Structure 1
């Protein structure tokens, strides 16, 4: 019994290839069912995100690995109608302990594009849940994923892998939360409607600000953003009149000149009785005149300020990732030990079952002979002789093979197991 992973991710392939091998939610169940039907596949889980597609498999016999590998590659290409033969270099395979440690690293965010990001764990849980719902989990995969979730929780609680932000957008929102205790009493203005502001808006949505204003050059471009966060839309010239109504301004436009000047801010402060204001300027060239930092009750952060925070936090996460690896190595060892023990138990069951079948076959033969009038002593002698020969045949052949093929270690282990050498 073993575990293997077939994958492609942001490190091995560009998005143009990754999207061709992705499994949208609507086809995941069909894909699982199709793959699970193959006799060599004992269990399967499919994880598909914007950064990776990975297929987790359990299979019965190690000797089937190469055959299974080719089968799954062919299946992947056929399912996506994609000539995968030309792209073997972008695929990676992990097997056994390496596969276990890789999946643990994925679930903990260590293998992510953004080190330590937490979203991937939810995606791994969803992939597991879909496989479970469709009865595609083997006992080994079930145990593996339960172990993975335990490890991810352990890493989050015992390291700082997810404590510090490594996103400019999130760093901007964190600066706002650190300055103002109760976000639900605050008004905020977003200047611009591009990708950066949209990312920030998604973070802000979680914190329920009292009122949000989106200021943009064109209303049409701001409409989607405003709808998402239930915001008011104004034009850029209206900023001067509305600045007094907001506590926080986050700006990211493509304007070659500042859109918010010192005089504008000074007048707004006066109109709001000098209540504190926070300005976060993420634009290059800058949207906000730097002189406003000389005004009282004004806090100004530029993109460089936030980059310093992000770089420092990335360094802290890198340290935490190394700590997480110790946990992963240890927990992977525990799982592999469990896998080996289970494999040993299965072999023992098969060995005992085989011996029981031999005994029953000879018992039936002996009883039939006695019923037909054969001498009981002769039957008993023949029964014991045949039973001994059949039971020791396989171990004898294995001993001979080990002795004649210079496999001293195998010979010693087998000799001990047969009681020929003292433990």
Structure 2
């Protein structure tokens, strides 16, 4: 299979960092706010980038795009986050061309997720793609690649057990609570922060614990009320947070603050309390764990827990990779077709010119020349010749050389 290549002087790169090498604190430094996402893409468009995709989640921050040098993408990443070039060099990665394409497939299908098979990422990628479109940074290549990744994700979800069971971060958190807290259905559970992870955790709490003592607090009360409208939970004002913490048996922190919001002085010492920090960056001060009555666990630790569902999912990895290869092959074929299409178009034009010249010659030379038959016959021959070349170029292992050879033999003037 011909590997993906870029049909111009630039190359397709992915630069980024993820949970695999960067800890929660470092990932927090490189996380990009919603406002900065738009600012980054706006600058990329102004600087002449043609295709850019920005993914920034709790587990990774990645930038995909065409460029002559990946440093241009790394610089954008650092300009709109709190990271530096030195920080990136310690934990970041750069993928080029086919490796970048493969990486996006593995990210989009959950193979590179912190919890294997977590399909929430494909929704986040779709949102990222919509933002790229908004800033005119999603053209034919990226759109086709995105459609291929989405197709692979759907197939893997439907045809394998990679998504079987529940092994998302939110479910793992709830599973941990159920394992650590006895009589959990009668405990006071406080959920602070109702972003996507917070909402999913709330839904899993209700579904799996049957607890009716769940309280939601969010800086913006109206957002908490929207979530509460779907579930039978209590909403309290942000100002009530210290009081509610003193009454909680379980505290789940899932806020998006850039600095810790839960400090040691907020934690009661008269009774045991389990605290789960599902925030990136961390929103619970590290010194909270020094309190003797506190059990503190961070999302990174939860993600490392091995459960039966995760082990089952590992069995599906070879099948998932095979599906990716099948879908990627279709994408690569499309990419190669785009690559040689201008040459085939020029070849057909050259043959049409030769045909018209020959028809004109015989029209003048032969008094009984049958022009209609000659036109039909020569057109069929041209069609067969171009089809033969198309088939050859589809199968060749040296596409660049073959295209160059066709252009040289027929002295083609190719317009890309």
TM-score of the superposed pair, with normalisation by structure 1: 0.54
Q: Give the CA RMSD over aligned residues.
A: 5.2
User: Structure 1 residue 337 and structure 2 residue 338: aligned?
Assistant: no
Tell me the CA shift for residue 415 of structure 1: 8.0
CA distance in 1, matches of 2:251, 2:140: 52
CA distance in 1, matches of 2:115, 2:308: 14
Tell me the CA shift for residue 159 of structure 1: 0.5
CA distance in 1, matches of 2:167, 2:175: 11
Unpaired runs of 5+ residues, structure 2, are 1-6, 177-183, 193-197, 237-242, 253-266, 274-291, 296-302, 355-397, 411-416
**Equivalent runs, 1:128-147 vs 2, <5 Å:** 128-147=129-148
Structure number with greater CO (CA < 8 Å, separation at least 6) is 2
Counterpart in the other structure of 1:390: none
Unpaired runs of 5+ residues, structure 1, are 59-64, 176-186, 239-248, 260-283, 288-306, 360-406
**Equivalent runs, 1:184-203 vs 2, <5 Å:** 188-193=185-190, 202-203=202-203
Counterpart in the other structure of 1:170: 171
Kindly name which structure, 1 or 2, has the bigger radius of gyration based on alpha carbons: 1
* Equivalent residues of 1:46, 1:55 under 8 A apart: yes
TM-score of the superposed pair, with normalisation by structure 2: 0.55
Counterpart in the other structure of 1:418: 409
* Equivalent residues of 1:189, 1:250 under 8 A apart: no
Tell me the CA shift for residue 20 of structure 1: 2.8
Counterpart in the other structure of 1:213: 213
User: Structure 1 residue 24 and structure 2 residue 29: aligned?
Assistant: no
Match of 1:12 among 16, 21, 24: 21
Bigger drift between 164-173 and 145-154 goes to 164-173
Tell me the CA shift for residue 12 of structure 1: 2.6
Tell me the CA shift for residue 78 of structure 1: 3.4
Counterpart in the other structure of 2:357: none
CA distance in 2, matches of 1:202, 1:123: 19
Match of 1:53 among 61, 76, 81: 61
Q: Deviations over 1:199-220 (max 9, x none)?
A: 89613466599971259xxx9x
CA distance in 1, matches of 2:330, 2:404: 23
CA distance in 2, matches of 1:37, 1:201: 40
Q: Deviations over 1:277-308 (max 9, x none)?
A: xxxxxxx99x9xxxxxxxxxxxxxxxxxxx9x
2:58 partner SS: coil
2:64 partner SS: strand
* Equivalent residues of 1:8, 1:91 under 8 A apart: yes
Tell me the CA shift for residue 15 of structure 1: 2.9
Q: 1:119 to 1:167 in 2, by over 3 A?
A: closer
Equivalent pairs counted in the alignment come to 295
Q: 1:347 to 1:232 in 2, by over 3 A?
A: closer
